[in-house]
Amino acid sequence: MDLEQKMNLVMRNAEEVVTPDELRVLLETEAKPRAYWGFESSG
């Protein structure tokens, strides 16, 4: 999977991403990046 495919996969259902540039750097430098998946149940 190339970098653009990885970025599209990460961002396709994300409400917020730090910035596309920061995501690009993360995907280029980390073999196994981790993400925070927050959930707020406000009614």
**19-42 tens-digit pLDDT:** 999 999 999 999 998 877 777 788
pLDDT tier, 17 (very low <50, low <70, confident <90, very high otherwise):
confident
d(CA 11, CA 16): 8
Give the pLDDT of residue 34: 86
Q: What is the reported pLDDT for 28?
A: 95
pLDDT score, position 23:
92
Does position 4 have pLDDT exceeding 80, yes or no?
yes
Selection from 8, 1, 38 nearest residue 24 by Cα: 8
